[in-house]
Amino acid sequence: MLVVMRRGATAEEVQQVCDVIEEMGYQARPMPGAGRTSVGVVGNDGRVDASRIIPLAGVQECIHVTKPYKQVSREWKADHTVITFANGASIGGTDVAVMAGPCSVEGETEILEAARAVKAVGAGFLRGGAYKPRSSPYSFQGLGLKGLEFLACARDETGLLIITEAMDPEGLAAVSEMADVVQLGARNMQNYSLLKLLGKCGKPVLLKRGLSATIQELLLSAEYILDAGNPDVILCERGIRSFDTSTRNCFDLAAIAVVHQLSHLPIVADPSHGTGHRAYVPSMARAAIAAGADGLLIEVHPTPERALSDGAQTVSVTEFEAIMKDASIIAQAVGRRLAPAIA
């Protein structure tokens, strides 16, 4: 349930509402807004009885949230969530964010080369995995801590913000200290223990949709993070499993429209994993922006044919440049702009 306070309700009135909620055995989540404050009620299993709250001073109305998720819903918070960074970049506002880089951090030279290249073309974020979830135990598993150090070097030199994945509590501690955005991979979307820790990690989280997750399950996983205290979640559509092998996954662009209707959280699109083929990335990047994506996540490598992982879906720097040009035109066509390159 959501308790909406009147405009001008005092801090004492808000506090009293919180106290009554806690007395009733629930937790209160005061949310100061532009015009007025709301107080969310969580911890209930079913409908909350509003009769004790409605008569309290300063209360305007009580809204029952009918979805299984609450804090991520538009009913709970009507305004888009915009996540801002110290360098002025943002995700979820008018600007369409661009996150680019190799699948894996392969070495210091390689990641620096990639960072310089994607920065030159205009990306704002460098993405690259130091910890790599691989279906085979015999595949390259990432450079780990060393990889994080190389990413830090790349940030120091270029000013790009860093997105990288965490796979377990130990790795999360290291990643959340170093990275600007912590990624949770598709295979861990329902790793609830890790979701709870992400709620305390102190950094924005990029939450990738699971291989066969419904949109409702994606939102519920985001709800874990918000409920544990972290409001800065960026969802990511990266394709779902289907029966057709002509693409690696089925890139579900309607998910962008659905999420924007149901939730205030931003959602970005990953056409590299979404299709699995370099040739389809440019048109799907355009389509994603036209569909309303708040950002793009694109695998770029200076020499894709030498990439240690995901080479088939990785574009070259030249191809990335063309994608950016097109993306910029589509962004304008839908009344937005590609986030400007960092200085």
- In sign, the C-alpha dihedral spanning 161, 166, 170, 172 is positive
Residues 78-117 that bind a copy of itself (CB under 8 A): none
CA end-to-end distance (rounded Å), the chain:
44
> Which position has the token pair 């709870």?
196
**Residue 42 within binding range of a copy of itself, rule CB under 8 A:** yes
**Residue 290 within binding range of a copy of itself, rule CB under 8 A:** yes
Residues 206-245 that bind a copy of itself (CB under 8 A): 210-212, 214-217, 220-221, 223-224, 227-228, 240-245
**Residue 16 within binding range of a copy of itself, rule CB under 8 A:** no
Whose Cβ is closer to a copy of itself: residue 14's or residue 253's?
A: 253
Residues 313-342 that bind a copy of itself (CB under 8 A): 326, 329-330, 332-334
**Residue 133 within binding range of a copy of itself, rule CB under 8 A:** yes
**Residue 51 within binding range of a copy of itself, rule CB under 8 A:** no
Residue 34, classified by CB atoms within 10 Å of its CB into exposed (0-12), middle (13-18) or buried (19+), is exposed
**Smallest separation (angstroms) from a copy of itself to the CB of 115:** 26
Whose Cβ is closer to a copy of itself: residue 55's or residue 335's?
A: 335
The amino acid sitting at 327 is A
**Residue 309 within binding range of a copy of itself, rule CB under 8 A:** no
| Site stretch for a copy of itself (CB under 8 A), options 42-50, 78-86, 200-208, 298-306 | 42-50
**Smallest separation (angstroms) from a copy of itself to the CB of 13:** 26
- Which of 253, 296, 297, 307 forms a contact with a copy of itself (CB under 8 A)? 253
For a copy of itself, what does the binding mask look like between residues 143 and 182, x meaning CB under 8 A? ------------------------xxxxx-----------
Whole-angstrom Cα distance, residue 161 to residue 184?
A: 17
Q: Left, alpha or beta for 114 (phi > 0: left; psi -120 to 50: alpha)?
A: alpha
Chain centre to alpha carbon of residue 257: 15
Helix (H) or strand (E) holding 161: strand 161-165
**Tokens encoding 9:** 């309700």
**Residue 66 within binding range of a copy of itself, rule CB under 8 A:** no
**Residue 288 within binding range of a copy of itself, rule CB under 8 A:** yes
**Smallest separation (angstroms) from a copy of itself to the CB of 282:** 8
| Site stretch for a copy of itself (CB under 8 A), options 2-10, 16-24, 246-254, 310-318 | 246-254
Rounded to the nearest 10 degrees, what angle do helices 254-262 and 215-227 cross at? 50
Q: With contact defined as beta carbons under 8 Å apart, do 241 and 277 qualify?
A: no
Residues 262-281 that bind a copy of itself (CB under 8 A): 274-275, 279-280
Cα Rg for the chain, rounded, in angstroms? 21
**Residue 76 within binding range of a copy of itself, rule CB under 8 A:** no
| Beta-strand pair 95-101/90-91 | unpaired
Whose Cβ is closer to a copy of itself: residue 88's or residue 169's?
A: 169
- Which of 107, 159, 231, 292 forms a contact with a copy of itself (CB under 8 A)? 292
Whole-angstrom Cα distance, residue 126 to residue 270?
A: 14
Phi, psi of 238 (to 5 degrees): -135, 20
Q: Left, alpha or beta for 25 (phi > 0: left; psi -120 to 50: alpha)?
A: left
- Which of 194, 206, 236, 323 forms a contact with a copy of itself (CB under 8 A)? 194
Neighbouring CB atoms inside 10 A of 8's CB total 10
**Residue 252 within binding range of a copy of itself, rule CB under 8 A:** yes
**Residue 139 within binding range of a copy of itself, rule CB under 8 A:** yes
